[in-house]
Every structure is written in structure tokens, then in C-alpha cells.
Amino acid sequence: MTEFEALIPDKGLSELQLKYRAVFMSEIGREVLSDILMQCHFGVTLDPDNKVQVAEYNVGMVLLERCGIFRHNTRRDVIGALCSITPATDE
């Protein structure tokens, strides 16, 4: 077992995905990942004619996949987590 595999229970993740999780799943790492995803237009409507914007968004999706978050077998969990968020009220 590698030092990274010891950090996270086996969920079929590659060693690289375990390394990404080790970096981004701490409190500080989540803050940094959130900032990176904001720069990658995560959660906003993209202009399909803006190739740069689409490419930046795709980088964000790759980061989430590398963290083991967006994978073929996690989509229901991701959707469930997003649906459980209580909308913020505008002040």
C-alpha cells in the first residue's frame, strides 16, 4: 500500500487520483480547488462559441475527475449532493 492509498479507502481510484485527493481534499485544498473551478467557469453557463472558455471549463472537469469526484460511477452521488444544497437567499 502506498502512502496515498493509506489516506483514502479503496474506491478503485488510481494512485494519481489518490494524490489529487491528498492535495485537494483538505480544508485549504478545497479552498484552492474552489478558486480554480471558479476560474474555469464551473457552475455558470458557457458561451459555446468561446473556445477558450470551453477549454478552461474542461480543465476544471478534468481536475474533478482526477480527484475521483466526476467518474462514471459517481454521477448519482454528485447529483444527490448538489440537490441537497439549500439555496442561499439574496440579501
56 belongs to a structural domain: yes
3 belongs to a structural domain: no
Structural domain tally of the chain? 1
Residue 6: how many other CB atoms lie within 10 Å: 9
Higher-scoring residue by pLDDT: 59, 91: 59
44 belongs to a structural domain: yes
Q: Which amino acid is at 85?
A: I
Q: H-helix or E-strand containing 78?
A: helix 75-83
90 belongs to a structural domain: no
Q: What is the pLDDT of residue 87?
A: 84
Question: What's the domain range around 39?
Answer: 15-83
Averaged pLDDT, 23-42 = 95
65 belongs to a structural domain: yes
Q: What is the pLDDT of residue 90?
A: 73
CA–CA distance, 91 with 83 (Å, rounded to integer): 22
10 belongs to a structural domain: no
34 belongs to a structural domain: yes
Residue 79 scores a pLDDT above 80: yes
CA–CA distance, 90 with 80 (Å, rounded to integer): 24
Residue 53 scores a pLDDT above 80: yes
